[in-house]
A and B are shown apart, each in its own frame.
Chain A
Amino acid sequence: AQSVAQPEDQVNVAEGNPLTVKCTYSVSGNPYLFWYVQYPNRGLQFLLKYITGDNLVKGSYGFEAEFNKSQTSFHLKKPSALVSDSALYFCAVSPGSSASKIIFGSGTRLSIRP
Chain B
Amino acid sequence: QIQLQESGPGLVRPSETLSLTCTVSGGSITSSADSWGWIRQSPEKGLEWIGTIFYSGTTSYNPSLKSRVTISLDTSTNQFSLQLTSVTAADTAVYYCARRGLGLYWGQGMLVTVSS
Q: Do A and B bind each other?
A: no
Residues of B within 8 A of A (CB): none
Binding site for B on A (CB under 8 A): none
